[in-house]
DNA sequence: TAGGCCATCTGGTCCT
DNA sequence: AGGACCAGATGGCCTA
């Protein structure tokens, strides 16, 4: 977070100064999901050493599919989507296997990872103090809104 | 210790 | 049918 832009206006300066001013070390992304209520079969492949940033990056760079990492999972016990219909009609239950559930979990993790990458990119574009702690996601969004509004106003003058 | 933030799992819904 | 997206639930970590 060292490469932040200088503040162009006292209003922006004041806004930024309202946000937190202490430093916090970066958190570990994709830490172990211990203590969750998922069935033990869900844990066996994905709560171990796979679950870190490098693993996700390797998956993305190799173009590997989620199923590639669950091929050794012998459990195919189905789980059910207990659907409720808007129209009152009973919906067809969607049956998924344990393997499919694991694959969906991996896809969701990758999706959230790319979302966080986008937040990191946005953080770099938004002005903050160099010594400021890392902006949270909601702070990043709100500051970006104000910053864009400010720059738009500046252009219109 | 409470509250904020975040990662993860999960099931529902929408879309291809 | 299956993937993407979303929101709720849950638990861990950190700070005041």
pTM of the model: 0.62
Q: Work out the mean pLDDT of chain A and round it to a whole number.
A: 60
Residue A137 has what pLDDT?
A: 92
Which long-range contacts does A34-39 make (Cβ < 8 Å, 24+ apart)? A39/A98
**A124 CA, B5 C1': separation in Å?**
19
Report the alpha-carbon distance of residue A29 to residue A9 in Å, rounded: 35
**pLDDT by residue (tens digit) across A113-151?**
989 988 988 998 888 776 668 888 999 999 999 999 999
Residue A58 has what pLDDT?
A: 58
More confident residue, A104 or A48: A104
Q: Which of A55-64, A107-116, A123-132 is the least confident region? A: A55-64
Helix (H) or strand (E) holding A124: helix A98-125
* pLDDT above 80: residue A74: no
What does each C-alpha distance from A29 to A22, A79, A103, A122 come to in angstroms?
21, 28, 19, 18
**A31 CA, B12 C1': separation in Å?**
26
Q: Give yes or no for CB of A63 within 7 Å of strand C.
A: no
Report the alpha-carbon distance of residue A46 to residue A86 in Å, rounded: 34
Nearest DNA or RNA nucleotide to A91 (CA to C1'): B12
- In the predicted model, what is the mean pLDDT of residues A40-68? 45
């Amino acid at each position: 977070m060292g490469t932040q832009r200088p503040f162009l206006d006292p209003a922006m300066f004041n806004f930024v100064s309202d946000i937190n001013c202490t430093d916090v070390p970066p958190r570990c992304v994709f830490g172990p999901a211990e203590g969750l209520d998922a069935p033990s079969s869900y844990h066996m492949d994905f709560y171990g050493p796979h679950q870190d940033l490098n693993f996700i990056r390797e998956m993305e760079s190799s173009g590997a599919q989620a199923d590639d990492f669950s091929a050794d999972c012998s459990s195919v016990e189905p789980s059910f989507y207990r659907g409720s219909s808007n129209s009152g009609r009973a919906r067809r239950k969607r049956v998924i296997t344990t393997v499919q559930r694991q694959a969906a979990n991996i896809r969701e993790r990758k999706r959230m990872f790319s979302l966080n990458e986008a937040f990191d990119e946005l953080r770099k574009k938004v002005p903050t103090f160099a010594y400021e702690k890392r902006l949270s996601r909601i702070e990043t969004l709100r500051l970006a809104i104000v910053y864009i509004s400010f720059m738009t106003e500046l252009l219109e003058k």
